């Protein structure tokens, strides 16, 4: 929580805006959670700010699902809910900082710019000594022209123009007044609100590394700018599971229920195929096994639907910046016949892992009436998961 007014005001706080959903850019998750090397886009700037000696606290403005993914916040940091628009998100952060003094300094940053440097932060803070607000800008290197549809018009004097980046620095009191006076009038950044009050905004040199992640191809540009490798390694894991067939239980295999005289016995729904695949994915991650993450001694997993275990394993892959290339599972059963259910099982596994069905193979075999599977005492499953993970 913020310091109370009885304590000295923290010197510099950060508002880190991570409320976007990234839908426009065509990412399949919020773009601030895309991985750059071993950490998320959001974590890059969060770690830089947290390590900066002048910064003592911050507010991450993000939805609960984003907050759950990024892990522990640094000491002194809190979270706030995003608004429908950027301006409302900043306002929510200002509300979270109610106890702070007006003379505190604030850095407002878009998490979609992971390449913050300590030098930019230092330049901004130095500029605040003589100004109420300061922003990083870059010159415009290209020739600029006016254009109407496909018709090129006059050249625009680019010496009069600059590209605006974040973080943007403010006296906290100035930004509070700017937001209060703006009311419902929208602006694309906070510096414009300050200028509307007639206050000057200082410009400092920006940094090419503050490139904004807008489209998927920006990830490659940012990887180069930040010196992060994009090389991936292949990791393969295997899983094996057996459950006993008993009378009076439903039969769940591969995430679907199959009508049969017997069902599988176990602590959860005993879905032998999903258990084998879960262990295969965890094996490729070298991340223990299903029993480590979902102990059979824990009553909360009694009767649990096993798709939860598999989607958990899939999320662990995503959190590492990896993806699942392929799943191959073999179900070993004398009865029932699995063949007719293979398309449904395949589609269900693909759905749980959010991968294309073309990346899922489902096979079935009997053991020619030999052994426990042959005697219909139980069903076994073997799986192999192939992952792509960031190079260590
Ligand atoms: Mg099992």
CATH class of the domain comprising 12-225: alpha beta
Asked, as a colleague might, if the bond just before 167 is cis with ω within 30 of 0, I would say: yes
CA of 244 from ligand 1 middle (Å) equals: 10
The values of phi and psi at residue 386, to 5°, are -115, 125
CA distance 36 to 107: 23
Phi, psi of 170 (to 5 degrees): -145, 150
Q: Which residues surround ligand 1, an ion (CB under 5 A)?
A: 241, 275
Residues whose CB falls within 8 Å of the CB of residue 327, separated by 6 or more in sequence, listed in order: 277, 280, 281, 349, 353, 355, 359, 360, 361, 383, 384, 385, 386
**Closest to 190 measured CA to CA, from 205, 163, 208, 172:** 172
pTM (2 decimals)? 0.62
Domain chopping of the chain, boundaries: 12-225, 232-390
Of the candidates 72, 40, 79, which has an alpha carbon nearest to the alpha carbon of residue 58? 79
Q: Are 276 and 306 in contact (CB under 8 A)?
A: no
CA of 274 to the centre of ligand 1 (A): 8
Consecutive H or E run containing 86:
helix 86-96
Q: Which two tokens stand for residue 383?
A: 């799986």
Which helix or strand (DSSP H or E) is residue 279 part of? helix 272-285
Per-residue pLDDT of the chain (392 residues; tens, 9 = 90+): 444 444 443 489 999 999 877 655 667 678 898 888 878 899 999 999 999 989 999 999 999 989 988 888 999 999 999 998 889 999 999 999 988 899 999 999 999 999 999 999 999 999 998 899 999 999 998 899 999 888 999 999 998 999 999 999 999 999 999 999 887 777 888 999 999 999 999 999 999 999 999 888 898 899 889 988 667 899 999 999 999 999 999 999 999 999 999 999 998 999 999 999 999 999 999 999 999 999 988 888 888 999 999 999 998 998 787 899 999 999 999 999 999 999 999 999 999 999 999 999 999 999 999 999 999 999 999 999 999 998 77
Distance between Cα 225 and ligand 1 center (Å): 46
Are residues 213 and 222 in contact, defined by beta-carbon separation less than 8 angstroms?
yes
CATH number, domain 232-390: 3.30.1330.50
């Amino acid at each position: 929580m913020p310091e109370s007014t009885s304590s000295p005001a923290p010197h510099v706080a950060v508002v880190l805006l991570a409320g976007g959903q990234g839908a426009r850019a065509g990412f399949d998750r919020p773009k601030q959670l895309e991985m750059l090397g071993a950490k998320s886009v959001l974590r890059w700037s969060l770690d830089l700010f947290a390590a900066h000696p002048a910064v003592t606290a911050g507010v991450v403005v993000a939805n609960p699902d984003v907050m759950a993914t990024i892990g522990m916040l640094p000491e002194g940091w809190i979270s706030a809910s995003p608004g429908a628009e950027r301006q409302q998100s900043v306002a929510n952060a200002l509300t979270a900082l109610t106890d702070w003094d007006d003379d505190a300094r604030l850095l407002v940053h878009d998490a979609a710019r992971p390449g913050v440097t300590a030098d930019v932060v230092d330049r901004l803070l130095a500029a605040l000594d003589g100004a109420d607000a300061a922003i990083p800008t870059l010159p415009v290197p290209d020739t600029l022209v006016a254009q109407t549809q496909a018709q090129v018009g006059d050249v625009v004097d680019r010496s009069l123009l600059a590209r605006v980046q974040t973080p943007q620095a403010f006296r906290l009191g100035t930004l509070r007044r700017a937001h209060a006076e703006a009311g419902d009038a929208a602006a694309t950044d906070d510096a414009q609100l300050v200028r509307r009050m007639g206050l000057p905004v200082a410009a400092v040199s920006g940094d090419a590394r503050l490139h904004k992640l807008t489209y998927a191809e920006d990830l490659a540009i940012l990887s180069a700018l930040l010196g992060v490798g994009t090389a991936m390694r292949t990791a393969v894991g295997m899983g094996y599971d057996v459950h006993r067939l008993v009378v009076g239980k439903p039969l769940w295999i591969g995430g679907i229920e199959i009508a049969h005289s017997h069902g599988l016995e176990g602590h959860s729904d005993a879905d032998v195929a999903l258990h084998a695949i879960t262990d295969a994915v965890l094996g490729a991650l070298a991340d223990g096994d299903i029993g480590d993450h979902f102990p059979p001694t824990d009553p909360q997993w009694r009767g649990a639907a096993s798709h939860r275990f598999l989607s958990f394993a899939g999320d662990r892959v995503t959190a590492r910046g990896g993806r699942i290339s392929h799943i191959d599972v073999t179900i070993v059963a004398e009865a029932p016949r699995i063949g007719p259910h293979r398309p449904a099982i395949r589609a269900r596994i693909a759905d749980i892992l959010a991968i294309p069905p073309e990346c899922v193979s489902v096979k079935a075999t009997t053991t020619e009436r030999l052994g426990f599977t042959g005697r219909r005492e139980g069903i076994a499953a073997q799986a192999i998961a192939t992952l792509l993970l960031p190079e260590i």
